[in-house]
Amino acid sequence: MKTRREFLKLSAAATLAGAIPGRVSAASPTPASGSDDRAYWCEVARRLATPVLDALARRRLKAEMPVEAHPASKDRPQFSHLEALGRLLCGLAPWLELAGDDSAEGKERARLAALARTAIDAATDPQSPDFLNFSNGRQPLVDAAFLAQAMLRAPRELWQKLEPRVQRQVTAALISSRPIPAYDSNWKLFATTVEVFLHHSGTPRDEARLMEGIDKHRTWYLGDGVYGDGPEFHWDYYNSFVIQPMFVEALDVVGNESPDLQKLRDLSRVRLTRWAEIQERLIAPDGSYPVTGRSIAYRCGAFQGLAQAALRHALPPGLSPAQVRVALTSVIRRTLEAPGTWDASGWLQIGLAGHQPGLGETYISTGSLYLCSAALLPLGLAPTDPFWAAPAELTTWQKAWSGANLPADHALRTKK
């Protein structure tokens, strides 16, 4: 495979092979190999990335991207384009960070990484018609953070390879989000993530904004690997959408600054592992999962916690990488293959399993939906990693409901 056309042919073949009815059953694991699953995930990454990055690189994102939103929302065109960029790249970043090679996948990865750098330039250049909103209203803080998270996850491909001019643009854009106050919720971690990236890239940080999100979530830990979204528990997927990933990654950067932070960093990693264990148990053999809480239209992005633990080799004992690959592949297929998921031009539409605009809250629009890319984090593992190289295995759901003798599940006991 030496051309992009050959890569796409392989990806299409993997898609067709995986679409066979009954491919995932409670009685036996999926027959798809890890290489077939990886080819399918790469095609999903390409399909998500192409309309966003191509339009923005040509400085035509505002002109070409549709902005579907709740009828009561009139302001989403101010925010949706930065949402699309930041959320897309936060999921694809570990894959892009692998850099290019002579394989068809490697060439496609290098092409998309270069396109992403051009897109970041267009998004942060004040002279660009696609200069995006990092400072007006409150929403830009959220997606400035997702873009910062992407650059933390791909420091070489999405930051160091930027021209110095573009790096200055990015820094200025992120700094412009500082006046935006963060709600007393997971939003505190958006401010933290922006400051962590600025600090990591050599810009003086706002100490109060960086530490507040860490300090708040220290006190908002509720037990058994779960944080409150604020002081109370919300039965939704925000531990995956935001809290666990941003908390752990912030502490990756600043966790060595004091013994107290080091202890909290170590606890956060143990809690992520438990959260991943819980998440894998939520996934049915057909890729469905409980439809509970807000932001359901982020689709498979609800499993970013599980995907992140797999990427970090932080899965619990007894949960194999191959099990997680099978579970995540089923979720990705179930949420991204339903008719109506994509419009005629290849943009995502609001919904969970198809086009279901009623699932879109007033803060959700087209750009928001690209947080689904977070399920693809394990693409950042090499094809030789056991996640991809090991034979498929039954998921915990499949094992339990087919009569396998499993050990009992137990809560995690850690102190705040």
Amino acid at position 237, single letter: Y
Q: What is the pLDDT of residue 23?
A: 34
Q: Looking at the domain assignment, is residue 408 inside a domain?
A: no
What are the tens digits of pLDDT across the range 61-102?
999 999 999 999 989 999 999 999 999 999 999 999 998 899
- Name residues whose C-beta falls within 8 Å of residue 110's C-beta, 6 or more positions apart in sequence: 99, 100, 101
Q: Is 284 helix (H, G, I), strand (E, B) or coil?
A: coil
What are the tens digits of pLDDT across the range 154-210?
999 999 999 999 999 999 999 999 999 999 999 999 999 999 999 999 999 999 999
Q: Looking at the domain assignment, is residue 250 inside a domain?
A: yes
Written as six digits, the tokens of 155 are 């420091």
DSSP state of 160: I
Cα–Cα distance measured from residue 238 to residue 228, given in angstroms and rounded to the nearest whole number: 9
Q: How many domains does the chain have?
A: 1
Q: What is the pLDDT of residue 416?
A: 55
Residues 388 and 38 sit within 8 Å (Cβ to Cβ): yes
Tell me the average pLDDT of the chain: 92
Range of the domain at 203: 4-16+33-270+300-319+372-380
What string of DSSP letters covers 83-99?
A: HHHHHHHHHHHHHHHT-
User: By 3-state DSSP, what share of the chain in percent is helix, strand and coil, each rounded to 5?
Assistant: 60, 0, 40
Residue 9 has pLDDT above 80, yes or no: no
Q: Looking at the domain assignment, is residue 329 inside a domain?
A: no
Q: Looking at the domain assignment, is residue 410 inside a domain?
A: no
Residue 290 has pLDDT above 50, yes or no: yes
Q: Looking at the domain assignment, is residue 37 inside a domain?
A: yes
Q: Looking at the domain assignment, is residue 255 inside a domain?
A: yes
Residue 312 has pLDDT above 90, yes or no: yes
Range with the poorest average pLDDT among 31-35, 130-134, 239-243, 395-399: 31-35
Q: What is the pLDDT of residue 244?
A: 98
Name the pLDDT band for 123 (thresholds 50, 70, 90).
very high
| pTM value > 0.85 | yes
DSSP state of 309: H
What are the tens digits of pLDDT across the range 355-402?
999 999 999 999 999 999 999 999 999 999 999 999 999 999 999 999
Q: Looking at the domain assignment, is residue 403 inside a domain?
A: no
Q: Looking at the domain assignment, is residue 147 inside a domain?
A: yes
What string of DSSP letters covers 223-274?
A: ETTEE-SSSS--SSSHIIIIIHHHHHHHHHHHTTSSHHHHHHHHHHHHHHHH
CA angle (284, 373, 375) in 5-degree steps: 35
